[in-house]
Chains A and B, each alone.
Chain A
């Protein structure tokens, strides 16, 4: 069982070919005061079997990316442009109907607080098979029962959970039911948006273990979104740090946590309390910029202790400043 990033195992698991390629994706929310540029010109990829983490403060655009990949952005939000290429298909060019067959089948979501999305008056089994029926797998009732048992088993739940109502399950069990629903059609990419933020540490660990086990069984990739840096350090192979709708840094998690390069990454990692040593708690002064009026130059400049004149006029691009380390900062 892999529960931490082990260098050798990681290289064996991850393939070099990208499963998902996102190019120049922009998502705006159109308001009466103008467009809120939630995601601005973002590019990244996820390799087959890889676990990519996205972190950032609320409003940094991480959940918007998740919804954009699923094409579930609702008005006033709109995907302004870019490509989302999954397994060779640009999802943004598909018709609504074609996209509907992709969801759950190729790309699935475990949402934040997903456990509250279960219907309280319907037993678990019908909720589990709903997606499978909709995608018309042509399974007989008997095969469907077998599949339900198999799915529950794969997330570490007993068979009799199928006949229970959501209120009979604990939070962690409900979240595992949601994982079972997400993997019911064996997707290639699982998007997990803060899958454990509503759970306490012990249950969080059980749910994450479950998610990673099913990922390995399926041979899928994971896009893990959250703001718990400890969880990212333990789970993700690579981590992208988002600030104001763009990437500040994208590095292998071992590199990132050992030696963060972008000033925002440094401050963010230093602001985290640990049980290793006690000290003064250091927050990051200031607030993220309004996405209505993106500042000229670097978005992090007003809060950055190392800002210099160039940062005021020129927006730093995301560049490979060290091998396999992408950083958007004029310091490098």
Chain B
């Protein structure tokens, strides 16, 4: 069976050429990234990292909004930039996105019905206007919104949480195979976050939709996803089963991320990262070796000389750090080797 989407050795480098065409070192936003998204069994994979880690670049590559500098992005085995008209339409339908800012995705002149009606018309989801109305109402109910409170209104009359849930409804309407949710709750109030995440999880459970959940928030990633990919400055730092990675992080960067979460418990104190001059500067990424070396408390000589490969520390996890070099190096299939382990366990559980 062909995979739904494959990212093969994709890299994205910004800059890299001066104004006069001379080669100079560019900014590597994503470095040699390989991953497969399967249709079945559906899984939720979180991609986490700080600003500049490459997570948005990954989204843009998968949506075809930007072309990889090298490598390829495939939809059902075909490069997304070479799809036939027909497969392009089915790609647009199968892969949906929920963006970060529910305030900016709406055209303020249209009523919110518009964002639901366009896909219905475009993909001919309803035979007649009456059917379309029923379909819209059903979908809104499915994400916990009352149609009478939402339809016929303009975006400014709705709260951020309601707008974001309409986006979830829109994604559901189209019945995609994959939803790429780019920080869907970062602009929403705490009391509504849980509701929106729950409706995303429901889409996954009830309709078998796979999800790529992009975030910098490890707590929500932990709650919603099965697998997690931790990115640091364009490289995968740690990947695998979310329970392993979040509960027992191995990469020093993942450990730092988890320590930095302010916990809702006044008896546990918030440890601090020792600030070094290097870690403050934006140009602190070393040009060779491990990208985290300048901030790493366990840095060794080898870290400054070569970039660490992904070591497979557990069946369901790999870590890109020389601290774990006694473990086997992940093979050519990259992240898929690790991600398959949890996928299989999901499949067995489903049987």
Residues of A within 8 A of B (CB): 1, 3-6, 57-58, 156-158, 168-173, 200-206, 209, 227-231, 233-235, 253-254, 257-258, 267-269, 271-276, 278-285, 287
Segment touching A, from B219-227, B307-315, B342-350? B219-227
Contacts of A254 in B (CB 8 A): 266-267
Whether B193 pairs with A283 at a CB distance below 8 angstroms is yes
B277 to chain A, nearest CB (A): 7
Residues of A within 8 A of B266 (CB): 4-5, 233-234, 253-254, 257-258
A202 touches B269 (CB 8 A): no
Task: Name the contact of A287 in the complex, choosing from B159, B262, B273, B282 (C-beta under 8 A).
Answer: B159
Q: Are the C-beta atoms of B272 and A169 separated by less than 8 Å?
A: no
Are B257 and A201 in contact (CB-based, < 8 A)? yes
Inter-chain CA distance A5–B160, complex, in Å, is: 33
- Contact of B193 with A275 in the complex, beta carbons under 8 Å: no
Report A-chain residues with C-beta under 8 Å of the C-beta of B272. 1, 3, 205-206, 209
Taking CB atoms, residues of chain A closer than 8 Å to B104 are none
Contacts of A275 in B (CB 8 A): 218-219, 222, 246-247, 258, 261
* Chain A min CB distance to B199 (Å): 9
Residues of A within 8 A of B268 (CB): 4
Interface residues of B in 28-76 (CB under 8 A from A): 50-51
Whether A202 lies near B273 (C-beta < 8 A) is yes
- A residues within 8 A CB of B162? 287
CA distance A234 to B277 in the complex (A): 26
A273-B223 CB under 8 A given contacts A158-B277, A283-B195, A287-B159: yes
For window 142-183 of B, CB contacts with A under 8 Å fall at: 159-162
The number of residues on chain B lying at the interface, defined by a beta carbon within 8 Å of a beta carbon of chain A, is 49
CB-defined A-B contacts under 8 Å, sample of 5: A3-B270, A4-B269, A202-B273, A257-B266, A268-B191
Q: Is the CB of B198 within 8 A of A234?
A: no
B190 touching A271 by the CB < 8 A rule?
Answer: yes
- Identify B219's interface contact among A168, A169, A205, A274, CB under 8 A: A274
Q: For B51, B191, B192, which residue has the most chain A Cβ atoms within 10 angstroms?
A: B191
Bound-complex Cα distance A201 to B255 (A): 12
- Chain A contacts of B224 at CB under 8 A? 281
Q: In the complex the two chains form, is B280's CB within 8 Å of A170's CB?
A: yes
Are A201 and B260 also in contact (CB < 8 A) when A171-B51, A209-B272, A268-B191 are? Answer: yes
Could you tell me if B264 and A169 are in contact, using CB atoms closer than 8 angstroms?
A: no
- Nearest chain-A residue to B266 (Cβ)? A254
0/1 string, B269-304, CB within 8 A of A gives 1: 111110101001110000000000000000000000
Q: When chains A and B are docked, how far (Å) is the Cα of A67 from the Cα of B217?
A: 29
Whether B191 pairs with A284 at a CB distance below 8 angstroms is: yes
From B190, B216, B258, A272 is in contact (CB under 8 Å) with B190
B194 is an interface residue with CB less than 8 A from chain A: yes
A218 CA to B346 CA in the complex, in Å? 56
Q: What distance in Å separates the Cβ of B51 from its nearest Cβ neighbour in chain A?
A: 6
Main secondary structure of the interface of A (DSSP, over half): loop
B171 shortest CB reach to chain A, Å: 18
With A3-B270, A202-B273 already in contact, the answer to whether A233 and B246 are too (CB < 8 A) is no
Q: Does B189 contact A (CB under 8 A)?
A: yes
B261 adjacent to A201 (CB under 8 Å)? yes
Q: Once bound together, how far apart are the Cα atoms of A28 and B29, in whole Å? A: 47
Query: Which of A228, A253, A257, A283 is packed against the most chain B CB atoms within 10 Å?
Result: A283
Assembled-state Cα–Cα distance A173/B295 (Å): 16
Question: A273 to B263, Cβ gap below 8 A?
Answer: no
**Closest A residue, CB atoms, query B196:** A283
Could you tell me if A203 and B277 are in contact, using CB atoms closer than 8 angstroms?
A: no
Residue among A57, A168, A202 with max Cβ neighbours from chain B (10 Å): A202
Whether B256 is near chain A, meaning CB under 8 Å from some CB there, is yes
Indicate if B326 sits at the interface (CB-CB under 8 A): no
**Shortest CB–CB separation between residue A273 and chain B, in angstroms?**
4
Cβ-defined contact, A205 with B260, below 8 A: yes
Residues of A within 8 A of B206 (CB): none
Question: Of the candidates A3, A280, A285, which one forms a contact with B269 in the assembled complex, judged by CB atoms under 8 Å apart?
Answer: A3
Q: How far is the CA of A61 from the CA of B297 in the complex (A)?
A: 42
Residue of A nearest to B188 (CB): A58
- What is the bound-complex CA distance between A279 and B281, given in angstroms? 39
**A257 and B265 in contact, given A4-B270, A58-B189, A205-B260 (Cβ under 8 angstroms):** yes
Specify which chain A residues have a CB less than 8 angstroms from the CB of B271 in the assembled complex.
3
**CB nearest to B162 among chain A residues:** A287
Q: A257 to chain B: which residues have CB within 8 Å? A: 264-266
Q: Is B197 an interface residue (CB 8 A)?
A: yes
A98 CB to closest chain B CB (Å) equals: 37
The answer to whether B219 touches A203, judged by C-beta atoms less than 8 angstroms apart, is: no
